[in-house]
């Protein structure tokens, strides 16, 4: 049985992420303004894509720019060819890079505090936010509390603070470090091994922050009320690997 939906409800990057993480063999048909593309999944990757006369990776990059359209996912359909060799996260990152290039006329979309350095870049933020369903903001912070980059526009998460102009990156970064450091102390005391992730949930508005522990930094993700921290953690960990 096919699953049908609208790209307004779930992005193509999310569909790719979910199908690859679940190691599905499936065909995804995407319809947009009279065009129809087909993506084939197998063994945790996109193995083939077709758009008109194009095959391979280029159709995927084109389809990733589609913000509107319908899709139909059919499980158990084997791919007729193998024309894609790049891993799914690489495809999504390259797609996001191309989108970013096209959207360069809107430079304020991403607001790095300073020139990104170290293991993360603004690119990671764009990919993270676009690919993980339910993520309303991202802050990447070094273990010393320095905010490396952030994507907090305050549109969806303005209720987290009293600031009228959105969420404060320094504060959100400090919270991520605070939780991460506390978790490390608790983990050491109880001999529970490495800290992987933490979720802080407030009782009044059900807002959540997911903190992911990376070797040199923490990723703080502000989540929508209905977002699943486990699913987001899996998607984002795959992207940042």
Partner 1 sequence: MQELLRNINAVVGVSGSFVCSTDGEVLASVLPGTLDHAMLSVVARTAAQTMAGLQTVRKRKIKDIDLLFAEGRVIVRGLRGGSLCILCAQRVNVPLLNLTADVAAKKIAARLHEKAQGQAEPESRPQAQVAPAPAPAVQREDTPRPEKAGRMSSFLRPFGR
Which residues make up the interface to partner 1 (CB under 8 A)? 143-145, 160-162, 171, 174-175, 177-179, 181-183, 185-187, 189-206, 229
Q: Residue 146 CB, nearest distance to partner 1 (Å)?
A: 8
> What's the rounded Cα separation, in Å, for the pair 12 and 16?
6
Characterize the bridge pairing of strands 35-42 and 45-51.
antiparallel
Q: Residue 123 CB, nearest distance to partner 1 (Å)?
A: 26
Q: Residue 155 CB, nearest distance to partner 1 (Å)?
A: 19
Contact 94, 16 (CB under 8 A): no
Closest CB to partner 1 among residues 41, 195: 195
If you write DSSP's letter for every residue of 56-111 in order, what string do you get? SHHHHHHHHT--S-EEEEEETPPPS-----S-HHHHHHHHHHHHHHHGGG-GGGS-
Closest CB to partner 1 among residues 63, 210: 210
Q: Residue 145 CB, nearest distance to partner 1 (Å)?
A: 4
Q: In Å, what is the CA distance from 201 to each residue of 43, 67, 208?
A: 35, 31, 5
89: closest CA among 27, 132, 149, 36? 132
Closest CB to partner 1 among residues 59, 137: 137
Q: Residue 40 CB, nearest distance to partner 1 (Å)?
A: 32
Q: Residue 21 CB, nearest distance to partner 1 (Å)?
A: 17
Closest CB to partner 1 among residues 53, 203: 203
Closest CB to partner 1 among residues 85, 185: 185
Closest CB to partner 1 among residues 169, 229: 229
136: closest CA among 155, 163, 121, 162? 155
If you write DSSP's letter for every residue of 116-155 in order, what string do you get? --TT--HHHHHHHHHHSTTEEEEEEEETTS-EEEEE--ST
């Amino acid at each position: 049985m096919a699953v049908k939906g609208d790209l307004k409800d779930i992005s193509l990057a999310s569909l790719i992420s979910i199908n690859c993480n679940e190691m599905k063999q499936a065909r995804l048909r995407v319809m947009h303004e009279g065009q129809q593309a087909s993506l084939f999944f197998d063994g945790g990757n996109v193995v083939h894509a077709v758009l008109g006369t194009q095959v391979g990776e280029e159709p995927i990059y084109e389809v990733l720019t589609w913000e509107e359209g319908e899709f139909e996912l059919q499980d158990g359909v084997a791919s007729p060819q193998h024309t894609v060799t790049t891993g799914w996260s690489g495809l999504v990152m390259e797609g996001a890079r191309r989108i970013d290039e096209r959207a360069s006329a809107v430079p304020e979309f991403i607001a790095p505090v300073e020139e990104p350095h170290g293991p993360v870049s603004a690119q990671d933020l764009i990919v993270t936010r676009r690919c993980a369903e339910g993520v309303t903001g991202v802050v990447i912070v070094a273990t010393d509390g320095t905010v490396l980059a952030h994507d907090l526009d305050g549109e969806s998460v303005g209720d987290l603070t009293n600031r009228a102009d959105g969420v404060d990156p320094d504060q959100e970064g400090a919270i991520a470090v605070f939780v991460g450091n506390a978790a490390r102390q608790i983990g050491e005391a109880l001999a529970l091994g490495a800290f992987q992730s933490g979720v802080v949930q407030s009782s009044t508005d059900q807002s959540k922050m997911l903190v992911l522990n990376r070797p040199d930094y923490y990723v703080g993700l502000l989540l929508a009320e209905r977002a699943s921290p486990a699913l987001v953690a899996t998607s984002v960990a795959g992207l940042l690997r």
